[in-house]
Structure 1
């Protein structure tokens, strides 16, 4: 099975290269097509997308997730990354920002959890036939991020299925920042070489992670050097049912 994690920056990176300060506010229609082409070439079974637009003017008031899913022929699941009672739900553009899963096979179950601290609170849980995925986008503040990581541990500690925890952790100290979380949960880093994923033009920080339970065996891992977002994508090939050697 292949899992691809990608913070796509709302599909605005093409604008950001031209207009660094205002690019995030620009349209995405043309650039999103390049991202879809890349995703199709990698042919993942499951995709975890961080920073997707659910229908602001950026993409002509159309949901990026639905458009991507339609082009790839995938099932999809989307949710705003802000809690329902968050003041950010009342702010234009922000209320269309979220995260998403796309999957070739039918989604068995989906759940949406929320941290008790932080601006971005969403944790998406996706259950497929043999594996469960958790998708996160953690806080920029170190103190808040540590609270979220503790809460995340509470969410996953009783998971009795093979599982993957992935996302943009915003861990500016890299794996060192989440080492205790990994030890307590038994999760392993699919990227044994701890490659930096940000910024894509010259990666220096290890912000994005794919962590997996021991029942999952990593058969291949790569971080393609594509400049379609400010983050690099992470691609994991894995099998289920064996102890990983990583």
Structure 2
């Protein structure tokens, strides 16, 4: 099973254009050329499952185009997505912001999807995709160190409760890399597919390991890469797994 993880930054792009006419202006306008480039990149790797972080599900920024569904159609995949803020969050009432989500795209038959929520932090969604023989969790953790560790405790409990082998992936915002993840990984029985600790952020000159694909007992990693493509401020991760 090939799994591709990508924080696509709402397909807003990178470089000087992103910060014109003011810093961060790229977040407010769509970039259909970049969305197409991301889609073609993903398609070229023929992943079985894709985890997308920072995807727009149809705001005025994208002219109401749901990026998760648009990419899924091109791949011939099933799509599952949800706003990444808590159900009672004020962010769910704000234009553009309320359409900011995480998503799964899947070619295998899906046996279920669940939306869990952390009880702390701004980005609270834990997206779970259940396949026939494994479960995959997708997260985008808090920028605050204390909140991240509360969130990791919650995530640990979900992983331990799973009756199937698990993959846990996402943008963990771990500014100290895998060192910050060590206790969580040990307690949850998880390993990183990125055994060399390759950085994924920022894409122009990677130096931080923020993005992870972790896997648990019952799975074996058979391949891993960090493609050097710069359609987002993060680099994508690709992991391949088989059952033991």
Structure 2 length as normaliser, TM-score? Answer: 0.96
Preserved contact between residue 82 and residue 121 of structure 1 (Cα < 8 Å) = yes
Preserved contact between residue 74 and residue 104 of structure 1 (Cα < 8 Å) = yes
Tell me the equivalent position of 2:208: 205
Tell me the equivalent position of 1:71: 74
Looking at structure 1, the residues matched to 37 and 105 of structure 2 have their Cα atoms a distance apart, in angstroms, of 17
Instruction: Pick from 96, 99, 118 the counterpart of residue 99 of structure 2.
Output: 96
Looking at structure 1, the residues matched to 167 and 109 of structure 2 have their Cα atoms a distance apart, in angstroms, of 18
Tell me the equivalent position of 1:176: 179
Looking at structure 2, the residues matched to 161 and 19 of structure 1 have their Cα atoms a distance apart, in angstroms, of 42
Tell me the equivalent position of 1:25: 28
Across the two proteins, how many residue pairs are aligned to each other? 240
Matched, 1:145 2:148: yes
Tell me the equivalent position of 1:111: 114
Name the Cα RMSD after superposition.
Answer: 0.9
Mark the runs of 5 or more structure 2 residues left unpaired by the alignment.
none
Q: For 1:209, what is the secondary structure of its paired residue?
A: strand
Deviations 1:31-66 (A, max 9, x none): 100000000001100000000001112221121111
Looking at structure 2, the residues matched to 17 and 182 of structure 1 have their Cα atoms a distance apart, in angstroms, of 38
Tell me the equivalent position of 1:221: 224
Looking at structure 2, the residues matched to 3 and 231 of structure 1 have their Cα atoms a distance apart, in angstroms, of 16
Q: Give 1:179 deviation, angstroms.
A: 0.3
Mark the runs of 5 or more structure 1 residues left unpaired by the alignment.
none
Looking at structure 1, the residues matched to 227 and 208 of structure 2 have their Cα atoms a distance apart, in angstroms, of 15
Q: Which runs of 4+ in 1 moved over 3 A?
A: none
Tell me the equivalent position of 1:13: 13
Looking at structure 2, the residues matched to 154 and 132 of structure 1 have their Cα atoms a distance apart, in angstroms, of 14
Looking at structure 2, the residues matched to 17 and 97 of structure 1 have their Cα atoms a distance apart, in angstroms, of 23
Preserved contact between residue 17 and residue 23 of structure 1 (Cα < 8 Å) = no
Q: Give 1:181 deviation, angstroms.
A: 0.3
Tell me the equivalent position of 1:133: 136
Q: For 1:19, what is the secondary structure of its paired residue?
A: helix
Q: For 1:55, what is the secondary structure of its paired residue?
A: coil
